[in-house]
A and B are shown apart, each in its own frame.
Chain A
Amino acid sequence: MQHTSLVLRMTPSPNNKYEIGKEMESYTNENSSLLPTDSGNDYGNNGDEDNDVVFAPLEDRTNSFSEMKKTVHNDPGLSQQYESVEDFQTLLGSTSVLKNALDQEGTTSWKSIQKRSHSFTMLLPTREIEEPSIITLEAKGHRRTGSISSRISDNGNGMYSHREDSPLLLRMERLYQSRISNVSTLYLKKIKKSFFSDAKSLAEGTIPQSIVLAIVIGIVCGVACYFYYSILYFGLDLFWTKIPEEYIIPSEFWSPEYYWLWIPLVCFSMVTLVGLTVFYMGEPGDLPYTISRVHTQAYIPMDHVLPMVFASMFSILGKLYRRTQCS
């Protein structure tokens, strides 16, 4: 199980300035394998001449991936504004590590950042973490505007680079400003390394999580199918077998030449109930609607379930049901 990791690292440069770099450990998932690699810009490569892989800017890569998904799935939902970083993260895949440190309440102390975001330790080498007075992250004005303002300041000797000097941070800030309306606290996600660690945490999109979800969803859907099936066939048997045979035929008030009236009586009653269901409970949605929801939202809203249950029940009950024996 391989993951994509994008690790932001503060690395001292030869001129004794701290620069924001990135370390691409692996790019083997769906997102990264389609990323363009012909960018001529060096984004914080720290002057490492041995690293031949130069990735395009993060913003360009994200846009490229978005366009690819639009082409493949024709998904209009990808062009929407995202309410949170978690939603936005879906653009880059569940294994992408992209999040920066932000605090919703304003200035956050170094100790609180370090305590709350354990994965933040991945951001900086141990040497830098041990100097809390040197580097502070300040978040400001991001609750509504969605801006990222991670300012790196020094302890007075001016030896550390400002955020405006970092092209990567600037691009990430523009990216979040354009796509996310409600930025929450960012952090670096800890990447699981083995099947057992995935099973222990039920990490998103992993095989253990799929197994558990398949069992739970299978049981829930099986029970739902059972109740639907039981009620449906109870109604079919009641309206088309039990009532006609036990109440209509033995009745002295229902002449045999008018037995056929039972068919339009039940049909029009059920059709009326179908219409009232649609009128009062809303559109139940049909199969094309279901498919469109799966494509655009990836889920089917629950507010269509009850109208669908009642409308389908009444419409099926309105059909003439007869047990035919073909032999």
Chain B
Amino acid sequence: MKVCLHTQSTDMYIFNLHLLPAGGSLGPEAPLVAICGALGGFVSRRLFRQSSTNVVRKHTFMGMAGALAAFFGVPLGGSLFALEVCSRFGVEYFEHLIESIFCGEICLMVFRGLSGLPIKPIWNLTSPRNLRIVECDPTHVFLAAFIGLYGALLAYFFASFHWKNMEFFGRLNLLDNSRAVYRGWLGAIFIVLMSLLVPHSGK
């Protein structure tokens, strides 16, 4: 399992570096956040005729939290992520936490019920040889912190490479939406090469 996770994550990392400039998406979560956030604001403003900025923003957060909770399978983590992804100056908007979690639970039940999926996390890291951790050593906290820093470092490289790619596409004057097709084709060259060389780099 370790080998599989390691090789696949590395390949996906390189793969998605080129996927994003081509207009691709890492997964359905980010688009669904935007879609459900828009739906939440629409329900608030159009159906319930809300006009207060803070109230409409709360309902927009409800929609975003619902999308993440539905796909992550965890209403608490999904709602927290929806709120923290919008926090630019420290902790913001966490006064909407309770409502967001509640809406996430509703959305999770509806989505999983309709699609016939069980309510469980996306990744199951247990196996007959690696059972669920029922207790841990305090030193594992430091290990987790180190892994978190390692992930942050990878994210930093990912973001830096992404912006370098954006500069590259900008120099080619491909960031204009009137040339979106050419932009996609250029990005697809890298994606196809990566897919041919490492076929399991996809999802």
Contacts and interface: CB of A to CB of B under 8 A. Distances in A.
Interface of A: 72-74, 77, 86-87, 89-90, 93-94, 202, 204-205, 209-211, 213-226, 228-230, 232, 236, 240, 260, 263-264, 267-268, 271-272, 274-276, 278-279, 282-287, 289-291, 294-295, 298-302, 304-305, 308-309, 311-312, 315-316, 318-322, 324, 326-327
B181 A213 contact: no
Contacts of B55: 94, 204-205
Contact of A294 (B19, B50, B86): B86
Interface in B53-89: 53-64, 66-67, 70-71, 85-86, 88-89
Contacts of B67: 221, 225
Contacts of A210: 58, 99
A217 B66 contact: yes
A299 B30 contact: no
Contacts of A291: 85-86, 88
B41 A326 contact: no
The 5 A-B residue pairs whose C-beta atoms are closest, nearest first, are A222-B110, A218-B106, A299-B41, A275-B181, A320-B202
26 contacts: A77-B53, A202-B48, A210-B58, A213-B62, A215-B106, A218-B104, A219-B106, A220-B39, A221-B107, A222-B66, A229-B111, A263-B192, A267-B195, A271-B23, A271-B188, A278-B180, A287-B34, A291-B88, A298-B60, A299-B40, A312-B25, A315-B22, A316-B24, A320-B195, A321-B203, A324-B200
Contacts of A284: 31, 34
B13 interface: no
Grouping DSSP codes into helix (H, G, I), strand (E, B) and loop, the A interface class, with mixed when no group exceeds half, is helix
B66 A218 contact: yes
Nearest to A214: B103
Given A219-B106, A272-B181, A279-B181, A232 B56 contact: no
Contact of B110 (A218, A308, A312, A320): A218
B107 A218 contact: yes
Contact of B53 (A90, A315, A318): A90
Name which of B45, B66, B200 has the most chain A CB atoms within 10 A of its CB. Answer: B66
A154 B99 CA distance: 51
B34 A217 contact: no
Nearest to B2: A326
- In this complex, which of B34, B47, B181 has the most chain A Cβ atoms within 10 angstroms of its Cβ? B34
Given A225-B67, A299-B57, A319-B191, A204 B52 contact: yes
Most buried by A among B23, B43, B201: B23
Interface of B, secondary structure class, is: helix
A225 B36 contact: yes
B23 A274 contact: yes
B109 A279 contact: no
B91 to A, nearest CB: 11
Contact of A309 (B35, B107, B127, B196): B35
Contacts, number: 284
B195 to A, nearest CB: 4
Contacts of A285: 34
Given A218-B107, A222-B109, 13 more contacts: A217-B39, A224-B39, A225-B71, A229-B115, A236-B203, A271-B185, A272-B184, A274-B184, A304-B38, A305-B39, A316-B203, A318-B188, A327-B127
B28 interface: yes
B39 A287 contact: no
B176 to A, nearest CB: 10
Nearest to A90: B53
Interface of B: 1, 4-5, 8, 15, 19, 22-25, 27-28, 30-45, 47-48, 50-64, 66-67, 70-71, 85-86, 88-89, 92, 99, 102-111, 113-115, 127, 177-178, 180-185, 187-188, 191-192, 195-196, 199-203
Contacts of A311: 23, 25, 31
A302 B5 CA distance: 38
B30 A217 contact: no
Which of A225, A295, A299: most chain B CB closer than 10 A? A225
Nearest to A71: B89
B35 A275 contact: no
B22 to A, nearest CB: 6
B66 to A, nearest CB: 4
Contacts of A264: 188, 192, 196
Contacts of B1: 326-327
With most chain B CB atoms within 10 A of its CB, the pick from A217, A278, A321 is: A217
A95 B27 CA distance: 41
A107 to B, nearest CB: 28
Nearest to A315: B24
Most chain B Cβ neighbours within 10 Å, of A223, A224, A322 = A224
A271 B35 contact: no
A299 B185 contact: no
